[in-house]
Amino acid sequence: MAIVGAGPAGLMAAQVLSQHSSVEVHLFDHKPSVARKFLIAGRGGLNLTHSEDIAHFTRKYAENSTRFSEYLNRFSPDDMIRWASTLGIETFKGSSGRIFPTGLKATPLLRAWLALLDEQNVQLHLKHSWIETRENRTLIFRTAVGKTVEFDADAVLYAMGGGSYGHLGSDGAWIEAMHNLGVEVASLKPSNCGFNVDWSDFLLSKFEGAPLKNIRLSYQGRSVPGDLVITRTGLEGSAIYALSRPLRDALETTSTVTLDLDIKPSLAEEEVTRQLSAPRGKMSLSNFLRKKLRLSPLQTALLHEVMPKPDLNDPGKLSKGIKALPVTLVGMQGIARAISSAGGVTFGSLTDKLMIKGMRGQFVAGEMLDWEAPTGGYLLQGCFATGAVAADGIAEYLEIP
């Protein structure tokens, strides 16, 4: 059988299927090495999954929560931890509940994983770009030297990723070929991405690249804690990534969107007002805010950036600004710079085992599917789980005992 795409979903499916001695697994990828996006994800600390209870975990998949509840029943966060352990990689729980390998890096884990797949006789075919699939599951590939090769498969799993970080492999080049096969594909859109803000030259000259820690963002009744980074184009970071879907949807119908930034979420507004009502004397505003509220220079600069100057001297208005600073977004980063993408092969065109309806023996998994989730371990967990589910579907289709 053939797996097209050597990212987390494809590698997990290869591991599951190659455990059966009767199955010959061929894994194709158009890059010269496997799991490139997986490796990039591990540069800042590989977040494998999350420790929260499964009910809260599955809600992160929004309208697909019921479906992913079933997928995570097949390959759960606990299964992820056990899987890493079998590869000799122990894990730990961070302060936010996220699960990481003890070394924080992806490379040792991937190296051990590939060694296991080699032991299980998975055959790698790199620099093979999928062009199309003809009748009877004949796959057509183009090699690095421009040669066209064919591969006849008993079953096929497509796991070529979404549309983010295209230079690493998941470039969405498969969409046209899937359309030609009659498969329904929802348009790819950026998810977990940065948003644009028209910062002043002064703010950027002082604080471009600076982190904004322990803040809270609110939009349309949803409030998200986390961190942000001031970028030349706007904002990035976990807090705004978690709101990327509603912000993206809003920006599709309007030119600007305003969200509220709480730069001091540990204090209630009443307490902020009480602190700011103390006599300031001859202290500058920045020193006053630093002594009373421990605001950083960046936090104070943001107040100056957004609020009218007279309001900065009014304790009531200033406290409202500290607790709900209105930040206007004027756009969003494109899919090429997004951490993940929404859209893909629709679930309506697939069976419960992720086989394409009307195309027996052909399955889809990973970010090629039409789903999205926030960062925090939910993306990788979803890819691993759908890879395992598709592998079970293939085993059932091939009638493997």
Q: What is the pLDDT of residues 318-354, one digit of tens each?
A: 999 999 999 999 999 988 888 899 999 999 999 999 9
- State the pLDDT at residue 140: 96
Q: Are 164 and 170 in contact (CB under 8 A)?
A: yes
Cβ neighbours, 10 Å, residue 228: 24
- Identify the weakest region by mean pLDDT among 98-107, 118-127, 216-225: 98-107
* Chain segment 252-284, per-residue pLDDT in tens: 999 999 999 999 999 999 999 999 998 888 888
In this prediction, residue 80 has a pLDDT band, given cuts at 50, 70 and 90, of very high
Dihedral angle of Cα 50, 51, 54, 60, to the nearest 10 degrees: -30
In this prediction, residue 177 has a pLDDT band, given cuts at 50, 70 and 90, of very high
pLDDT reading at 190 higher than 80? yes
List, in order of start, the domains of the chain with CATH numbers. 2-191+335-397 (3.50.50.60), 195-332 (no CATH)
Q: Are 244 and 191 in contact (CB under 8 A)?
A: yes
pLDDT average, residue stretch 64-89: 96
* pTM for the model: 0.90
pLDDT average, residue stretch 238-252: 93
| Average pLDDT across the chain, whole number | 93
pLDDT reading at 367 higher than 90? yes
Distance CA(183)–CA(181), nearest Å, equals 6
Q: Which residue, among 160, 17, 78, 32, has the nearest Cα to 381 in the 3D structure? A: 78
pLDDT reading at 362 higher than 80? yes
pLDDT reading at 240 higher than 90? yes
Burial class of residue 270, CB neighbours in 10 A (0-12, 13-18, 19+): exposed
Q: Are 263 and 307 in contact (CB under 8 A)?
A: no
In this prediction, residue 89 has a pLDDT band, given cuts at 50, 70 and 90, of very high
pLDDT reading at 42 higher than 70? no
- State the pLDDT at residue 211: 95
- State the pLDDT at residue 156: 98
Distances (CA, A) of 387 to 116, 316, 355: 17, 54, 12
* Chain segment 276-322, per-residue pLDDT in tens: 998 888 888 899 899 999 999 999 999 999 999 999 999 999 999 99
Return all residues near 86 (Cβ < 8 A) that are at least 6 apart: none
- State the pLDDT at residue 204: 97
pLDDT average, residue stretch 123-127: 96
Half-sphere exposure of 244 (CA within 13 A, CB side): 29
- State the pLDDT at residue 370: 97
Q: Are 299 and 162 in contact (CB under 8 A)?
A: no
Cα torsion angle, 112, 113, 117, 120, sign? positive
Q: Which residue, among 131, 170, 169, has the nearest Cα to 151 in the 3D structure? A: 131
